[in-house]
Amino acid sequence: MSAPIAAEPIFHIGAFAITNAYINSTIAVLILIAIAYFIKRSIKDVPGRFQSAIESIFEALLGYFDQVTNDRAKSKRFLPFVGTVFIFILLSNWMGLLPGTGSIGVWEIVHGQRELIPLLRPANSDLNLTLAMALVSVITSNILGIFTLGFFVHANKFIQLGTFWKALKTMNVMKILTATIELGVGVIEIISEIAKVVSLSLRLFGNIFAGEILITVIASLAAFFVPLPFMALELIVGMVQATVFALLTLVYLTVATAAPHGDEEHEKVEAVAAAH
């Protein structure tokens, strides 16, 4: 039994390959839709035990978000996106431990050897999915930053052309030197955005793929009882990785929608000057 890095295609719809990891992710999405529909149908003016429990969970999450955002309005704004990311990753990770995942499939001849192509594979063990989620998280944070602060204010976090132009007009050597350094820092900020995508995607992929390899190896040595402790460990890993991904996404959203450092002080100075 093997566990290749790339997800194996099960069938094709035209030129589009349906892989075993894609099937798992689709099932996870359908389960999320079903859960959301059930919760929505269960909402009543007078909450019962189930609705009260759900509301308590959301209130606890908002309190946790507040520790990062320091703003209840932002916490409520980010909860739908970050919460969905967390639940999807957690569900996808835990679904990879269900019986049959990675072990039920069809035998095919690959590179002259007979190999089992599993019908189901942990969704986050496919780098395509983790990379896509990382891109969505980082791009969403920048889009919200633009809508919250304005395009030029947000862009100025990366490329401070306005500051450089003002420094040039003053013909002050120190100001021009400082503005040039800030331009270099902006380039580093752009590189850091790319690094966010790489770190988010590889961290999640690496941990889940390594877990799949571990379970595959242990199950091939002993099919009963021995893999149970390792599967319990993977339950914890799945929770931790979902939490880390969601928490980092929340941090990116919070930082992207925060005013650039020094803007508030600058506005206060301008207000005092205008008052006098």
**DSSP three-state, residue 43:** coil
Reference 103, options 217, 233, 226; nearest CA is 217
Each residue's pLDDT, cut to its tens digit, for the chain (276 residues) gives 556 677 888 888 888 888 888 999 999 999 999 988 888 888 887 777 878 888 888 888 888 899 999 988 999 999 999 999 999 999 999 888 887 776 677 777 666 667 777 788 888 988 999 999 999 999 999 999 999 988 888 887 777 766 666 766 777 767 777 767 777 777 888 888 899 999 999 999 998 888 888 777 777 676 677 777 878 888 899 899 999 999 999 999 999 998 876 544 444 333 333 443
Secondary structure of 206-253 as H, E, C letters: HHHHHHHHHHHHHHHHCCCCCHHHHHHHHHHHHHHHHHHHHHHHHHHH
Q: Model pTM?
A: 0.82
**pLDDT at position 275, please?**
41
Alpha helices in the chain (DSSP H): 20-42, 49-69, 72-95, 127-149, 151-155, 161-170, 173-221, 227-256, 263-275
The rounded distance, in Å, linking the Cα atoms of 156 and 64 is 30
**pLDDT at position 188, please?**
83
- Taking CA atoms, 104 is separated from 9, 33, 100, in Å, by 15, 26, 5
**pLDDT at position 276, please?**
39
Place of tokens 């206060």: 268
